[in-house]
């Protein structure tokens, strides 16, 4: 993996984790669904330029360059998805622990 691709993937992963955590906090505060806040917040992270260049390279029959751009797109998209998955797992675990605490308190 190219160093630039790795840096891009890591930065998008961290960005999506931060966006996910902020959106969860704001969704509770504003009483909105998380998806309402996540969707517009993630738009700047989406690798549209690289996807365009991948398609353009393939149309121009420069398949190696197109494959390189497509790998950039896949790494970036995968990092974004992984970041949101990590946040969702943290949220689910936190909810489960909070629910167990409440059940324990009610049973006493």
Band (5; pLDDT cuts 50, 70, 90):
low
Q: What is the structure's pLDDT at 75?
A: 92
* Ranges of each domain in the chain: 3-107
Do the Cβ atoms of 38 and 19 come closer than 8 Å?
yes
Band (103; pLDDT cuts 50, 70, 90):
confident
Do the Cβ atoms of 63 and 57 come closer than 8 Å?
yes
Task: Report whether pLDDT(106) > 60.
Answer: yes
CA torsion sign for 76, 10, 43, 18 is positive
pLDDT in tens, 47-102: 899 999 999 999 999 999 999 999 999 999 999 999 999 999 999 999 999 999 88
């Amino acid at each position: 993996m190219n160093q630039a691709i790795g840096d891009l993937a890591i930065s998008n992963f961290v960005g999506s984790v931060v966006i996910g955590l902020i959106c969860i906090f704001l969704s509770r505060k504003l009483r909105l669904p998380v998806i309402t806040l996540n969707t517009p917040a993630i738009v700047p992270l989406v690798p549209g330029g690289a996807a365009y260049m991948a398609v353009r390279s393939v149309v121009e029959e420069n398949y190696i360059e197109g494959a390189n751009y497509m790998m950039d797109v896949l790494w970036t998209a995968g990092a974004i998805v992984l970041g949101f998955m990590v946040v969702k797992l943290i949220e689910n675990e936190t909810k489960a622990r909070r629910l167990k605490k409440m059940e324990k308190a009610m049973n006493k």
